[in-house]
Structure 1
Amino acid sequence: MPILPIFIVVLCATLITPAYASLSLDEAISNAISHDRWIDSNRYQEHAIRSDAIASGQLPDPKVRVALANLPTDSFDFNQENMTQLQLGISQQFSRGDSLEIKQRQLSLMADQKPLERHERRALIKQKVGQLWVLLHQHQAQAQLLKANQSLFQELVAISQAHYRSGNLQRYELLDAELKMTQLHDRLAKLEQLKNQTRHQLLEWLTVPDELDALPTELPEIPILLTQQQLKSEAQVDKVLLKHPLLQQFEQRVEIQQKAVDLADEAYKPSFKVDAGYGYRDDMPNGMDRADFFSMALTFDLPIFPEKRQDATRNAAIGQREAVKEQRFLKARQIKTTFGFELANLAGLEQRLSIYDRGLLRQLKEKRSAALQAYGASTARFNDVSAAALSELEIKLQKIALTHERAATLLRLNYLLAGIDPELQRQSSRPLELK
């Protein structure tokens, strides 16, 4: 049979994909982080809060009073009456207890949250952009595999047509071969659609659209941030997970709410206001000297009915503090549970990939070779050869999907370990420029 040797060559051809100089996973993550406007916005917010902290720790500006008092209206003569004075006064308000210092510390703690927010943002970008890059790479690899096997399906159709003309093939078998070719075109079109969708999702984060047209051929290995020995120790895993920037933010919030409690405690103390005044009087009309006046006053309030104001404010602050503590506990439990889930998912994926590598792909290859030999000896139908080839192709596509799902799982695990990620700790922001 003259077509069979050509078919065997096409069927046994190895997929060789050319390498493209394009955007690697690390380059995509670095580009997304360095051009993230949210990080810049967050840094401006930190600068603003630190400036507010400085201002909030200062006493209010003193008030100066200048007055002309008791001027007679019959003559408007300054030295006519004893009571006529040119008054100069100054007053200063003092806050309750240490409330200014506490407010300043509270705002400083709020500003200290911002670097933690940026750390978590960078970790989130690394996960999201990484997963989108991996998904785009998966679509590309699957499309390349299908394109490489497109000639195989074309040969299947050609051989089926030749056998049909010679009477060795039923019409439904010819239609089946043509249907498989159509299905291949549909799968390629679907993969192209998914590639374009994922590409546009990546463009939300990246500034290099042209480099997304063809990613590197090889999927990079993504190491987990913990050693196998550390993963076996629940105590070490818990210790690392508690360093996650989200949990560190909750720690800061607890301290901020504690300062609110401290501020509420200061409300039980009085506030003070000091007034000082000087009154200048002119000499009498006969030249006799008139003494000037000096006055001073101290004004303060007494919180002697605290039930409806101070007590209620303090109870509210304590409630907010305890609520944040509970939220911290829930978030810690969620992170630990998610980490265990993703770790179990990783173990399952690696086990399945091991089955693919050690047995399944080899068995399918042997089945395909046996079908070819049987078909060459006229002891098997053409559908057996077609089914064996399609099964092997389908399993290769599934292996690509599993390999990329493993990479995405590692990215999600490393996000949960962001507290010890050296790459995120090395990330430095551009200098802050105030306009």
Structure 2
Amino acid sequence: MRYIFAFSKKISLTLLLVSSFILPRVSFSLNLQQTEQLALEADPVIDGHRASSRSYHAKAIANGTLPDPKLRLGMFNVPLDSFSTTEDPSTQLRVGIQQEFPRGKSTELKQQQTQWLSQAATARAEDEKLKLLMNVRDTYLNLYYQTRAAIIVNETRQLFAKLVRITEDQYAAGRALQQDVIRADLELSRLDDRATKIQSQEDEYRATLSQWLRDEAWGDIEPAFPVLPEVPDNIDINRLLTQHPSVMAETAKVEASKTLVEVSRQDYKPGIGAFVEYRKRFGQNIDGSDRADMMAAMVTVDIPLFTENRQDKNVMAHEESANVARYSRDDRLRVLQRMLEKDRSVYKRLSERELLYKNKLVNSAANNAEASLNAYQSGVTEFTTLMRAGITELDVRLENLRIKVDRLRAQARLLYITGDPEL
């Protein structure tokens, strides 16, 4: 009996393990907002820029601090024959402090330069967040199109499959040509090919989305049409572009480069060092009095006499670096302005086309397909006209979906430029 119980226990455990793989997992439909949140939480680039900003901020504090003073301690003029500290009046114990002061305002300027770099890293983090949202939204919207297009194609395929059966029945009754049957099979096969291509593109977009979402990218997509924040209507273009995070990052780099030019110009000024030393003497004078202790104070000055090959070249190099930063900022402004003008135009035209499809084309294509089917069943029209009407309706439905999705994609690109009000 024990063997039967042990055997049945093993079977139950095996069935439990197998069922854990066979039974479907509880899943949820992924919407655009969830996708954005998951991507922002998983992106390491944003965290990297923020860490870089904190690093520069800490370095700025360090750069604004004077160099550490140097302690000097030693015995001087000790006779080697006796090592006595009282025999020779010049024997001394010296304790001193030496402090170097950087040239001009180089300390303050280096601190400012590093603070600008910290601000640039912060702006890059904000730009990366906007850029990530734009890319994630674009990928999700393309994926949404493929999933809905697959449903539309499948619905059309079911209709065409019915047409194939109707055509075969009419051909058997002598009321249709063999060419009609062949044409119906051909269109059905072409729909299968279109469905395969849609599935292939869907897999590609899911793979792209998985770099942010991992396994969640392969789940179900919420059927409701995605919604994005509205783009502001009244836009001050100059103010908008100059305050864009990518431009602010370039501007901070320009200021950092200009500050570095001023740092290099401080090399024309002398560097100063100060030294104070206490000198302890041992023993007594001839009259029996203690030998007096001494003090030394000294100032050292670096004199920049030969500046042609070092200071002049450093200033020239940093000035050219500042020019490079300015050119980069100007180029970024032009790129953003081109993007803004292009996407505003695209968004406007797609909105007009969306209204046209909504108010006229979609209904007209559906009515035309229905009328063609009724006419074909009544023997009034040819099969070619019926198939053309069905394909036209399919193309109109897919194009209507494509326009709506592309309008949202243009809106996502505009939100990258104008800034997302929900961030």
Q: What TM-score does the superposition give when structure 1 sets the normalisation length?
A: 0.85
Equivalent position of 1:325 in the other structure:
326
1:214 maps to a residue whose letter is: D
2:307 maps to a residue whose letter is: P
RMSD: 2.1
Equivalent position of 1:145 in the other structure:
152
Asked if 1:79 corresponds to 2:80, the answer is no
Alignment partners' CA distance in 2, 1:285 and 1:146: 113
Contact 1:22 1:212 in 2 (8 A): no
Q: What is the SS of the residue equivalent to 1:88?
A: strand
Displacement after TM superposition at 1:133 (Å):
0.8
Gaps of 5+ in 2: 1-26
Inter-CA distance 354–325: structure 2 relative to 1 (3 Å threshold): same
Equivalent position of 1:250 in the other structure:
250
Alignment partners' CA distance in 2, 1:370 and 1:422: 48
Displacement after TM superposition at 1:211 (Å):
6.7
Can you list the C-alpha shifts for 1:300-328, whole angstroms capped at 9, x where unaligned? 11112322222222232222223322322
Equivalent position of 1:62 in the other structure:
69
Equivalent position of 2:336 in the other structure:
335
Contact 1:79 1:285 in 2 (8 A): no
Equivalent position of 2:109 in the other structure:
102
Displacement after TM superposition at 1:223 (Å):
4.5
Equivalent position of 2:13 in the other structure:
none
Displacement after TM superposition at 1:291 (Å):
2.6
Equivalent position of 1:218 in the other structure:
224
Equivalent position of 2:24 in the other structure:
none
Gaps of 5+ in 1: 1-19, 425-435
Displacement after TM superposition at 1:135 (Å):
0.7
Can you list the C-alpha shifts for 1:320-348, whole angstroms capped at 9, x where unaligned? 22332232222212211211111111222
How do 1:21-60 residues align onto structure 2 when only pairs under 5 Å count?
21-60=28-67
Alignment partners' CA distance in 1, 2:155 and 2:222: 17
Can you list the C-alpha shifts for 1:345-390, whole angstroms capped at 9, x where unaligned? 1222222223322332333233223322322332222232122112
Equivalent position of 1:304 in the other structure:
305
Equivalent position of 1:416 in the other structure:
417
Asked if 1:112 corresponds to 2:119, the answer is yes
How do 1:157-236 residues align onto structure 2 when only pairs under 5 Å count?
157-206=164-213, 209-210=215-216, 212-227=218-233, 230=234, 236=236
Displacement after TM superposition at 1:288 (Å):
5.2
Inter-CA distance 69–223: structure 2 relative to 1 (3 Å threshold): closer
Displacement after TM superposition at 1:128 (Å):
0.6
Displacement after TM superposition at 1:409 (Å):
0.7
Alignment partners' CA distance in 2, 1:198 and 1:164: 43
Moved over 6 A (4+): none
Contact 1:154 1:181 in 2 (8 A): yes
Equivalent position of 2:404 in the other structure:
403
Displacement after TM superposition at 1:265 (Å):
2.3
1:101 maps to a residue whose letter is: E
Alignment partners' CA distance in 1, 2:44 and 2:363: 50
Q: What is the SS of the residue equivalent to 1:267?
A: helix
